[in-house]
């Protein structure tokens, strides 16, 4: 797909932002069409400020936005920094962090403070709250005072609740603040959901184990009778706390008043849409206008859940490569030497793929093809979901001499008798197309070994 291990997602005011973690970039996509709107980050690991793709990140995760909807905040995990994106100009700047891993955790000014694997961020009333996973703490950043400091957690990994300064956290990785000032967080290594009462300066268990770091599993229930496994994401919507129970590949719902959790969607890891969907270690959630958006990390996809019915679909993200730099592609490349002569007008790309025995193209996952070049263009949108092989893709050959062409194919295939066993094949073809007295078909052959 166009994404690689997306870690977090943010939906707000008909806008959708995605942390394309494995590609070291942040992408805004149209929530209806999936078309890319903007890209920040070169696609290569780095720590550079700049505009759009001139900037660079290192495994970005959490996203949040200010009340004015002008600044996007990014937890730049691998750079141990918090970055900002000016949504009007596209300029990326560093708000806090030096790029160095910070230990021991100590407060400091924004240009000198050192953070430790910030995993998520949440903006509230001018303060940016940070799930500083590496130091087992939640920090607060006040840009007006030019200071960042630990807020919750002693930096000792554990499960003990209590006052902010002495509480023990265990890799907090997702945070969400309610309208009444409750800071819910997914405490990944303790496999629990906890809450910090910002007006009372104490932490409490919501659901999951609270005695040791080894009380994990997959059990619905109340309080410390429930079991989760390495949850990474939380989101509030219409009175419900949704959690990404990551290692169980499930989306669960928490009744915060009763302190109980119920499995809602998912099960065995896999990829399926519809009323009985499958996910693969989802890492991030965001709720907006009755829709729960999921960063389905190991499926390299963004999923859309109707919060009323639970019906799940996959948002097919397209057009990222047109906005990104060429360096963002890191898959295999086949270069066709010489010139390939094609007749002008209507043409066909033939994808002569051979899958391993017993496998088929996944009927639900968003397989796709994209073409970049003056001489060749797709007739449709490039959707290959559930396509039969060999696939015939209509194209238009433009009578415009000779030009380089790049063809990217992302094919998601799964076992015929076990759709939870799926794989992604990425391939790029680079060739020079000469328009002239030639064939109207171009065959691209590929054999995928089992």
CATH code of the domain covering residue 401? 2.60.40
> What sign does the CA torsion over 207, 210, 215, 216 have?
positive
Specify whether 336 is located in the same domain as 404.
Answer: yes
Instruction: Give the Cα separation of 6 and 172 in Å (integer).
Output: 18
Cβ atoms < 10 Å from Cβ of 57: 31
Specify whether 79 is located in the same domain as 212.
Answer: yes
Instruction: Give the Cα separation of 23 and 25 in Å (integer).
Output: 6
Specify whether 121 is located in the same domain as 214.
Answer: yes
Is 191 part of any domain?
yes
Q: Which residue has the higher pLDDT, 248 or 386?
A: 248
- pLDDT tens for 19-70 read 999 999 999 999 999 999 999 999 999 999 999 999 999 999 999 999 999 9
Six token digits for residue 167: 């509480």
Average pLDDT, the chain: 94
Domain endpoint, select from 287, 315, 343:
315
Is 443 part of any domain?
yes
Q: Strands 25-29 and 36-40: what pairing?
A: antiparallel
The answer on pLDDT for 14 being more than 80 is yes
Q: Which of 183-187, 435-439, 446-450 has the lowest mean pLDDT?
A: 446-450
For residue 11, what pLDDT is reported?
Answer: 99
- The predicted model gives 120-133 an average pLDDT of 98
Six token digits for residue 295: 């960063």
The band of 1, judged by pLDDT with boundaries at 50, 70 and 90, is low
Specify whether 188 is located in the same domain as 252.
Answer: yes
Specify whether 305 is located in the same domain as 350.
Answer: no
Six token digits for residue 144: 């007006």
Specify whether 255 is located in the same domain as 386.
Answer: no
Q: Which residue has the higher pLDDT, 245 or 339?
A: 245
Domain endpoint, select from 271, 289, 315:
315
Q: What share of the chain is helix, strand, coil (3-state, %, to 5)?
A: 5, 50, 40
Is 259 part of any domain?
yes
Specify whether 210 is located in the same domain as 306.
Answer: yes
Alpha helices in 308-398 (DSSP H): 320-323
Instruction: Give the Cα separation of 385 and 360 in Å (integer).
Output: 11
Q: Which residue has the higher pLDDT, 419 or 170?
A: 170
Is 322 part of any domain?
no
For residue 449, what pLDDT is reported?
Answer: 83
User: How would you list the strands of the sheet with 137-142, edge to edge?
Assistant: 118-124, 127-132, 137-142, 147-152
Specify whether 268 is located in the same domain as 387.
Answer: no
Domain endpoint, select from 284, 315, 346:
315
The three-point CA angle 411-413-417 to 5° equals 170
The band of 318, judged by pLDDT with boundaries at 50, 70 and 90, is confident
74 burial type by CB count under 10 A (0-12 exposed, 13-18 middle, 19+ buried): buried
Six token digits for residue 203: 């932490």
For residue 324, what pLDDT is reported?
Answer: 74
CB 150 within 8 A of CB 165: no
Neighbouring-strand partners of residue 206: none
Is 326 part of any domain?
no
The answer on pLDDT for 326 being more than 60 is no
- pLDDT above 70 covers a percentage of the chain that reads 97
All residues at 6 or more sequence positions from 58 whose CB lies less than 8 Å from its CB, including other chains: 24, 45, 46, 47, 76, 77, 78, 79
The answer on pLDDT for 328 being more than 70 is no
Q: How far is Cα of residue 431 from the mean position of the Cα atoms in its chain?
A: 31
- The predicted model gives 148-165 an average pLDDT of 97
For residue 50, what pLDDT is reported?
Answer: 96
Q: Which of 144-153, 256-265, 329-338 has the lowest mean pLDDT?
A: 329-338
Neighbouring-strand partners of residue 286: 293
For residue 381, what pLDDT is reported?
Answer: 85
Specify whether 14 is located in the same domain as 90.
Answer: yes
For residue 308, what pLDDT is reported?
Answer: 98
For residue 403, what pLDDT is reported?
Answer: 84
CA nearest to 8, candidates 88, 71, 73: 73
Instruction: Give the Cα separation of 436 and 340 in Å (integer).
Output: 10
CB 115 within 8 A of CB 169: no
The answer on pLDDT for 400 being more than 80 is no
Specify whether 133 is located in the same domain as 169.
Answer: yes
The answer on pLDDT for 149 being more than 80 is yes
Is 3 part of any domain?
no
CB 233 within 8 A of CB 295: yes
In angstroms, the first-to-last Cα distance of the chain is: 20
> What sign does the CA torsion over 65, 264, 182, 231 have?
negative
Specify whether 256 is located in the same domain as 205.
Answer: yes
Q: Which of 298-307, 371-380, 396-405 has the lowest mean pLDDT?
A: 396-405
Winning range, highest mean pLDDT, from 135-139, 269-273, 297-301, 331-335: 135-139
What residue numbers bound the domain in which 344 lies? 331-447
Whole-model pTM?
A: 0.81
The total number of structural domains in the chain stands at 2
The band of 450, judged by pLDDT with boundaries at 50, 70 and 90, is low
Instruction: Give the Cα separation of 40 and 76 in Å (integer).
Output: 12
Instruction: Give the Cα separation of 284 and 1 in Å (integer).
Output: 18
Region label for 423, one of left (φ > 0), alpha (ψ between -120 and 50) or beta (otherwise): beta
Cβ atoms < 10 Å from Cβ of 161: 18
Specify whether 285 is located in the same domain as 415.
Answer: no
Q: What is the CATH number of the domain that holds 138?
A: 2.120.10.30
375 burial type by CB count under 10 A (0-12 exposed, 13-18 middle, 19+ buried): buried
- The predicted model gives 272-278 an average pLDDT of 94
- The predicted model gives 277-296 an average pLDDT of 98
Q: Which of 60-69, 324-333, 355-364 has the lowest mean pLDDT?
A: 324-333
For residue 421, what pLDDT is reported?
Answer: 66
Is 186 part of any domain?
yes
Instruction: Give the Cα separation of 304 and 302 in Å (integer).
Output: 7
Is 292 part of any domain?
yes
């Amino acid at each position: 797909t166009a994404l690689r291990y997306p870690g977090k997602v943010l939906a707000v005011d008909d806008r959708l932002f995605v942390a394309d973690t494995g590609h070291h970039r942040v992408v805004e996509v149209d929530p209806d069409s999936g078309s890319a709107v903007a890209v920040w980050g070169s696609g290569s690991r780095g720590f550079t400020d700049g505009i759009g793709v001139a900037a660079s990140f290192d495994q970005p995760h959490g996203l949040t936005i200010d009340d004015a909807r002008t600044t996007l905040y990014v937890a730049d995990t691998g750079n141990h920094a918090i970055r900002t994106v000016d949504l009007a100009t596209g300029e990326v700047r560093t708000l806090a962090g030096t790029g160095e891993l910070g230990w021991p955790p100590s407060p400091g000014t924004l240009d000198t403070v050192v953070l430790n694997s910030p995993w998520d961020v949440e903006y509230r009333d001018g303060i940016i709250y940070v799930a500083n996973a590496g130091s087992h703490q939640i920090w607060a950043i006040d840009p007006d005072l030019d200071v960042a400091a630990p807020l919750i957690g002693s930096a000792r990994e554990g499960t003990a609740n209590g006052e902010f300064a002495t509480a023990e956290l265990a890799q907090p990785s997702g945070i969400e603040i309610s309208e009444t000032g409750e800071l819910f967080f997914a405490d990944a290594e303790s496999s629990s959901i906890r809450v910090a009462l910002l007006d009372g300066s104490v932490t409490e268990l919501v659901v999951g184990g609270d005695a040791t770091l080894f009380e994990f599993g997959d059990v619905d229930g109340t309080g410390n009778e429930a079991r989760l496994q390495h949850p990474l994401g939380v989101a509030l919507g219409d009175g419900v706390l949704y959690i990404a129970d990551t290692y169980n590949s499930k989306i669960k719902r928490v009744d915060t008043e009763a302190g109980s959790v119920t499995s809602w969607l998912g099960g065995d890891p896999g990829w399926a849409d519809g009323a009985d969907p499958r996910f693969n270690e989802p890492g991030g959630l965001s709720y907006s206008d009755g829709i729960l958006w999921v960063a389905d990390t190991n499926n390299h996809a963004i999923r859309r859940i109707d919060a009323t019915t639970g019906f799940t679909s996959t948002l097919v993200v397209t057009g990222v490569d047109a906005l990104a730099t060429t360096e963002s592609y890191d898959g295999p490349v086949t270069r066709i030497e010489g010139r390939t002569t094609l007749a002008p007008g209507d043409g066909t790309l033939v994808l002569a793929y051979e899958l391993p025995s017993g496998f088929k193209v996944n009927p639900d996952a968003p397989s796709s093809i994209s073409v970049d070049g003056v001489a060749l263009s797709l007739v449709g949108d490039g959707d290959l979901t559930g396509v039969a092989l060999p696939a015939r893709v209509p194209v238009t050959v433009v009578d415009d001499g000779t030009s380089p062409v790049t063809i990217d194919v992302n094919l998601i295939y799964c076992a015929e008798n076990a759709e939870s066993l799926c794989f992604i094949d990425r391939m790029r073809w680079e060739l020079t197309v000469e328009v002239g007295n030639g064939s109207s078909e171009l065959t691209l052959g590929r054999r995928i070994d089992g």
